[in-house]
Amino acid sequence: MRIVAGKFRGRKLKGPEGMDLRPTSDRLKQTLFNIIGPRVIGAAVADVFAGSGAIGLEALSRGAREAVFIDSDRAAVRLIRRNLALCGVTSGCRILHGDVFAQLRMLGREGFKAEIIFFDPPYEWGPYGDLVEVPFKSGVACEESLVIVEHHRKAVLPDSGPGFRRTRTVEQSDKRLSFYEAAREE
């Protein structure tokens, strides 16, 4: 696992030794950032189910102004801290430990807005509709936000819901990236 591009390019990140994490592959990460391109520059990014923190760190490397890492696993939080230190990141980041729904609602109450929200839940995750809905409902996602969910090809995700719609799905091997934006009112 490494940072693919930007100011931390080539930095090797610590992986999830013995942990039940499935990091986003470098190839899928490259595909993701090729799609979102310059949207990451100056953006606030939320890396949810952050695991190693690789997506948030890649975003910071490519010019994001801020990254919020959210994970419910203590070992993952320690791993994120180690990887931030490996890259020399001391500001522009925040790590939240706890239930992702509760953390996203708390961020919404604080008035935090993210232009890019990336979810990488466990592949056996169930409530995808709730997961996609919470950033829009809590106010963390705004009209210009892009919500991206990494998932297994067999997972069933909603095409739309209250306040959001899927705009794109990218396939790579058995993995998928589903992209959501705020539903525009007609």
For the four alpha carbons of 62, 65, 69 and 75, in that order, the dihedral sign comes to positive
Q: Which domains does the chain have, with CATH numbers?
A: 26-182 (3.40.50.150)
Output the average pLDDT for the chain.
Answer: 91
C-alpha closest to that of 110 among 84, 136, 139, 132: 139
Q: What is the pTM of this model?
A: 0.93
pLDDT for the residue 2: 83
Answer for the pair 23, 52: CB distance below 8 angstroms, yes or no: yes
pLDDT of 37-95, one tens digit each?
999 999 999 999 999 999 999 999 999 999 999 999 999 999 999 999 999 999 999 99
Answer for the pair 152, 161: CB distance below 8 angstroms, yes or no: no
In one-letter notation, the amino acid at residue 102 is A
pLDDT of 83-126, one tens digit each?
999 999 999 999 999 999 999 999 999 999 999 999 999 878 87
